[in-house]
Amino acid sequence: MSNHRILGVALIAALALPAAAQAHVTLQPNTAPAGAYVVEDVRVPNETSDAVTTKVDVKLPPGFAAVSYAAAPGWTVKLTTAKLAKPIATDDGTLTEGVTRITWTADSKADGIAPGQFRDFPISLQVPGKAGDTLTFKALQTYSNGDVVRWIGEPSDDHPAPRVRVVAAADSGHATPAAATASSGGSKASKGLGIAALAVGVVAALLAVASLAGRRRG
């Protein structure tokens, strides 16, 4: 294989890395302060080329007494509740039931998430647990062709479950909108630099192999 051909393959692989890294169902932001009322976006990308996402089913970890959702035109939203293992005391009284599941279903295929698109489904909730906990939100993504992708795995799996890390209020980056924006931007920039560095490393390694092979042929 010629050096030019190896370089072309390496560049294609490098350019594909950011897209692959962002193809998971996630909750944004992925950190939240313990006990705070926050808005989390369930971010759902369509990672196929020939089907539409028509249903998103998210199972909440224990401890959510009340959850509300933003209107999603073209989608029907259903909340599933169950008795709490431990009642939660609030200003309005003691709650014995909590939300365990949220399901978004597209009203039609035309309303679904098309290939190359993503959609955010905002939910408002109070963060349970304490700093250091990790909240795992298992999700099922259904496509118009009948395929179901189960986002329930560990962080290293091909289909990891969305996770939110619970932090102390002072460490959350939620003190002010400006601080949250700066924190989010810095995180994205760091991830981008990391991916770019990996891509450059791949290209350099392949070029070194090509150079060595050329010397041997000479």
Q: Domain ranges in the chain?
A: 3-217
pLDDT at 85: 84
171 to each of 31, 36, 130, 136, 141, how far by Cα in Å?
9, 13, 13, 20, 32
Q: What residues of the chain score a pLDDT lower than 50?
A: 6-21, 174-200, 202-209, 212-213, 215
Query: Taking a C-beta distance cutoff of 8 angstroms, is the pair 124, 37 a contact?
Result: yes
Q: Out of 1.20.1440.230, 2.60.40.2230, 3.30.420.40, 3.20.20.10, which CATH number does the structure's domain 3-217 have? A: 2.60.40.2230
Nearest alpha-carbon partner for 74 in 104, 49, 41, 33: 104
pTM for the whole structure: 0.70
